[in-house]
Amino acid sequence: MEGYFYAMLKEQMQQQNVSAEKLSEGICSPSLVSRFKRGERTPDKMMHDRLIGRLGISDEWNKNFLFYDDYIKWRERKAILDSIGRREIGKARKLLVEYAKSEDFANSIEQQFCHAMEAQLMMYENADREELADKLEAVVKLTVPHIDEKAVTDLQLSVQELNLILEYEKYKHPYQLMERCDEILHYIGRSAFDNETRAKIYPKVVWYQCEMLSKELDMDCQRIIKYSNQGIQYLRAAHKTYYLWELLSIREDVFKAWAERLLSDGEAKRADALCRMRRENRDWKEAIGIVYERCGAAPQMENFCYLYGQQEIYCINEMIRCRRKMLGMTRKQLGEGICDEQTIMRLENQGSKMRMSLVKKLFEKMNLSGQRSG
């Protein structure tokens, strides 16, 4: 459990040649990262996720076991994300206000989450573009303070931060959005991002880029198809559909324009081939539309909440209490050779934490898996 995190953090930083200073910039002190590496401190859930996120590791495959306090905060974030996903704007804002009352809200990652969700609500409400641009600038600079002075490729960033930079440039500096897209694509290409992580951000970046390219008078059809194909390949590898509808839509338009251009140049054979590809693309799009319609959902991506959503989160305190009772064990029997009965009682009553190495022993004694957890 915690040993796995420490070992993974140390190994990945060494393999990727990432210093504590670069990994920690904007979120914590370099000394704190060094203490995490040595196992002297355990990060909370959001710090844990941001650190591994900046190293390009997705947390979707992890089973996450959290102590009660951290679990409650995760549930509060999930309620906010769910409300935004359902466009319950009033409820989401109320939940955000309550969440911001937390004593840990001074943490830049916590602040960024709340303000990013507020920016998403402003997008729903078609807020004034300048006001939204200022909001996104403040959100980005909470953890990436030097974004205006540095290229993306000079930083160590998570997909959440890359997404916010993308939105910031779109609203604040639209004239340099293409350049930022190129930087982000280059960053993704040379980073250690796994398939899950790439699938979360690459399709959105190429969709933004393809949209801009498609508006040029001398549209580079080949480049657009190349980018959109790569985005679809990442989605296929990760079994995801982020921005798939958008990429298929732009492919359809580009295939049509490209075929018409070839036909006017007398290249009927190549134009016919593109028409067939367009029909196949349209069939895929129609099939996806039918699936989404049956699920009662829109095929288009309507928000960036998917970047923050997580499944398979469990409360350690509750798991130990329920499992112990299911096995008919007393607290004394469970703690024998590991810890005393009072420690088990406090843990089950959500009144204390313990070292994750001891939690692992309790899990093993009750035949629970604690592998690959934070």
Bridge partner list, 192: none
What single letter denotes the amino acid at residue 78? K
What angle separates helix 68-85 from helix 89-99, to the nearest 10 degrees? 160
Q: How far apart are CA 146 and CA 210, in angstroms?
A: 27
299-312 residue pLDDT tens: 999 899 999 988 77
Global confidence as pTM: 0.91
What is the 8-class DSSP label of residue 349? Answer: T
Q: How far apart are CA 358 and CA 335, in angstroms?
A: 10
Q: What dihedral angle (degrees, nearest 10) is formed by the CA atoms of 245, 250, 252, 255?
A: -150
Q: Which residue has the tokens 């030097």?
A: 146
CATH architecture for the domain at 318-374: Orthogonal Bundle (1.10)
Pick 167 or 105 by higher pLDDT.
Answer: 167
Q: Using pLDDT thresholds of 50, 70 and 90, give the confidence band for residue 202.
A: very high
316-372 residue pLDDT tens: 999 999 999 999 999 999 999 999 999 999 999 887 778 888 888 999 999 986 554
Write down the pLDDT at residue 62: 53
How many beta carbons lie within 10 A of that of residue 218, not counting itself? 5
H/E element holding 64?
strand 64-66
**Which residues neighbour 143 within 8 Å (Cβ) at sequence distance 6 or greater?**
26, 27, 50, 108, 109, 112, 161
pLDDT at 289 over 90: yes
Average pLDDT over residues 244-264: 95
Q: Which of 334, 318, 313, 323 is nearest to 368 (CA)?
A: 323
pLDDT at 55 over 50: yes
Domain ranges of the chain: 318-374
Write down the pLDDT at residue 103: 61
- Range name among 119-128, 187-196, 301-310 with the lowest pLDDT average: 187-196
